Chain A
Amino acid sequence: MWDAFGFEFVNFYLIPGLVLGCIYALGAIGITLTFGILRFANFAHGEIMMSGAYLTWTVMAIAGYAGLTLHPLVAMVPATLLVILLFLGTDKFFYKPFRKADTIKVVMASFGMMLIIRSAVQVIWGPNQLTFVRGIAKPNSVLSDVSNDIGMMLIIPNKHLFIFAGTVIIVIALSYLLNRTRIGKAMRAVSDSPDLAHVTGIDVDKVIRATWIVGGICATAAGVFLVMDVQMLETTMGFRMLLPMFAAAILGGIGKPYGAVFGGLVIGLAEELSAYPWIGDTPLLSPGYKTGVAFAIMVIMLIVRPQGLFKGRSF
């Protein structure tokens, strides 16, 4: 079973698909929480991810001047704080004035924010591509040796292991937050029924702040993981992530964080596996159309089951 076919399939399609899925999952958590709790599709989410990655790069560069070489995962911590501030700031100045108004106004405001944030990043960091760490990522030697001994060679670069571990830790922390803490339960309550939550005395403003904080942590992690994976920072990457993340959120059901994680993994795998030569020798779908897969899944979901697989909210 584990012949050249399996080797190629697992190492070049399945694992990259899972990595991409983890990144989408983290981004989609933020989108689905905002959609569920604040009730609008946040178009600026991808740009926030992107600016989180740029802030991480800046922290690394500043540390570099001081003679320190920081790993992106370490530099991510101060960047996350800045991203949370950015989220809370945009909420306060641009989304909050419309909270009582029609939700579509907030969507418009977030659409405007998308371009404001992207242009701001382009003004500050310039349009050129940057990178965290240069060079080819070597596969983890221990893992490839051990798996080679049992006859299933796995080539997983360290960066991918970091991404897997990071995603698992964040998802576990999130499930602890949502199931065990007061604020997490309040978030779920507001997502399920805002009126009922309000009546029971839940502080909705506090819940909204918590949503932005959770979304900010996940978004920064997703942005940094994406840059670690593709080893390249560009200003359009947030926009490119937006559609798959929305697709993941809709697939999993709006307002369902686990659904978003599942949806993210499905979309990531589907994008990578669509390029696998399932029939014959040529890729099933030209790699140029990878983004189209997410869109196709989303359209099918909207037709067949707009509430998503996990029975989220459908408006």
Chain B
Amino acid sequence: MEAYVGYFLYFLSLLTVGGIYAIFALGLNVNWGFAGLFNVGIVGFAAVGAYTYALLTTAESTYHIGGLGLPLPFGMFAAMMTSAVIAGFIGLICIRLRADYLAIATIGIAEIIKLILKNETEITNGPRGINKIPRAWEHFSEERFYTSWPMSWFGTPENWEAFFDTLPNWYWQPLFAGTILLVMYVIYRMLERARTSPWGRMMTAIRENEPAARAAGKDVTRRRIEAFIIGAAIMGLAGSLFAQHLRLIEPTNTFDPSKVTFLVWVMLIVGGSGNNRGAMLGAFLIWTLWSASELFITGAIDLIGNIFSTLDPSILQTRAGFLRMMLIGILMQVILQRYPGGILPEVRPASPKADKNIAGTTGESK
């Protein structure tokens, strides 16, 4: 029985992290898949979201500013807003230039954000990072939550303590995974709606043929900035969920560009850019491969260590991690060259008028 619980929890953690990456991929899909904006600063928006959330929702602390202990949804909302504001700033500068400049600027802003987080020790506790970030559902069992409203309206602290003692200590895991999947689903529905709306079709038009879209009187720059901001806001939200999942964030290793930006890009390209379902599929697929390969590598290293007993397994372990990164990179190149559409290629929404014409039963032909 215990073993099954272990597998169940492993599965849940796959869903949790996969879901967070799926939200990142959906955000990137708005940037790249919808509007063709090459954003390689995902890690920067994630860091902004994570730090905004952390500073607003953690308990008061002497190590960093903030610690306002605000409600969690408020922190997540603020994370989205801060990301959006920063994206707006970059968008206004770079969007009118060619895509390469946006790429350079986004990779730059991501580095600058990390630099600020690292250097402003008064505000962010610098390289030591912020810990004890409240995680949704698990936070209910923290003392500062069940002693204050609204939880204190429903029971005394002693009652709550007794209640949480009766639950298994992983009680929050299914709920947290469920919340993330729910957030992902809501974003997915909203993006699907946006994609088939006139706004989304205008996006496709701008991406595919900018001069034509401009000639048709569309405000190309404005639409692009909108797409950039919306994508960044979703990434900020994903960043706040990432902070909840990790509970300890610091600027350097948590927000490693190769593990966030690059992985999300691979997910979107493998899944199918322009397709929201593809983005989510790619995220879960690559994340499962990524974390399953860890088990596989450990096994392989055990085997090699048995054959060549003189080798130090810890060296192999670190190198294997890099090898995995390299293979993921090669996978991306292969997909880019051979299957540019990804697993689920983009499906263009048909115009509602076209639908009517095909159906042609109502007699409203124009």
Contact = CB atoms under 8 A, between A and B. Distances in A.
Interface stretch (A104-112, A176-184, A265-273): A104-112
B103 A288 contact: no
A302 B319 contact: no
Nearest to B262: A115
Interface stretch (A67-75, A155-163, A207-215, A291-299): A291-299
Contacts of A126: 315, 318-319
Given A119-B326, A123-B323, A289-B119, A295 B103 contact: no
A43 interface: yes
A292 B112 contact: yes
Contacts of A35: 100
A84 interface: no
A202 interface: no
Contact of A127 (B93, B99, B318): B318
Given A107-B100, A302-B101, A116 B333 contact: yes
Given A105-B336, A109-B333, A315 B93 contact: no
A115 B260 CA distance: 12
Contact of B115 (A127, A239, A288): A288
A302 B93 contact: yes
A118 interface: yes
B337 A108 contact: no
A43 B107 CA distance: 10
Interface in A86-115: 94, 97-98, 103-105, 107-109, 111-113, 115
A298 B333 contact: no
A286 B116 CA distance: 11
A306 B104 CA distance: 13
B136 interface: no
A104 B99 contact: yes
A315 B101 contact: yes
Contacts of B326: 115-116, 119-120, 123
Interface residues of A, number: 43
A94 B336 CA distance: 10
Given A111-B265, A306-B97, A118 B108 contact: no
A274 interface: no
Interface in B262-318: 262, 265, 269, 315, 318
Nearest to B110: A243
A41 B336 contact: no
Given A107-B38, A116-B329, A306-B97, A123 B107 contact: no
Contacts of A9: none
Contacts of A103: 99-100
A150 interface: no
B108 A298 contact: yes
A40 interface: yes
Contacts of B94: 302
Interface in B49-77: none
Contacts of B98: 315
Main DSSP-derived SS at the A contact region: helix
B111 interface: yes
B262 A286 contact: no
Given A126-B315, A292-B115, A299-B93, A41 B332 contact: no
Contacts of A291: 111-112, 115
A314 B108 CA distance: 19
Chain B, interface SS category = helix
A112 B258 CA distance: 10
B227 interface: no
B36 interface: yes
A303 interface: yes
A222 to B, nearest CB: 18
A133 to B, nearest CB: 25
A246 interface: yes
Nearest to B114: A291
Contacts of A116: 326, 329-330, 333
**Contact size class for B?**
35 or more
A303 B93 CA distance: 6
Nearest to A306: B97
B108 A243 contact: yes
B101 A306 contact: yes
Contacts of A108: 38, 265, 269, 336
A242 interface: yes
B119 A286 contact: yes
A58 interface: no
A122 interface: yes
B118 interface: yes
Contacts of A119: 258, 322-323, 325-326, 329
Among B97, B105, B322, B332, find the residue whose CB has the most chain A CB atoms closer than 10 A.
B322
B40 interface: yes
Given A295-B112, A302-B105, A315-B100, A104 B38 contact: yes
Interface in A10-64: 35, 40-41, 43
Contacts of A40: 100
A286 B119 CA distance: 9
B329 A112 contact: yes
Contacts of B38: 104, 107-108
Nearest to B90: A299
A181 B363 CA distance: 73
Interface in A251-291: 286, 288-289, 291
Nearest to A41: B100
Contact of B107 (A112, A242, A250, A314): A242
Contacts of B265: 108, 111
Contacts of B315: 126
21 contacts: A41-B101, A94-B333, A94-B337, A107-B38, A107-B100, A108-B269, A108-B336, A111-B103, A112-B333, A122-B319, A126-B315, A127-B322, A239-B257, A246-B104, A286-B119, A288-B115, A289-B119, A291-B111, A295-B109, A314-B97, A315-B100
Interface of A: 35, 40-41, 43, 94, 97-98, 103-105, 107-109, 111-113, 115-116, 118-120, 122-123, 126-127, 239, 242-243, 246, 250, 286, 288-289, 291-292, 295, 298-299, 302-303, 306, 314-315
Given A41-B104, A288-B119, 6 more contacts: A108-B265, A116-B326, A119-B258, A122-B319, A243-B108, A314-B97
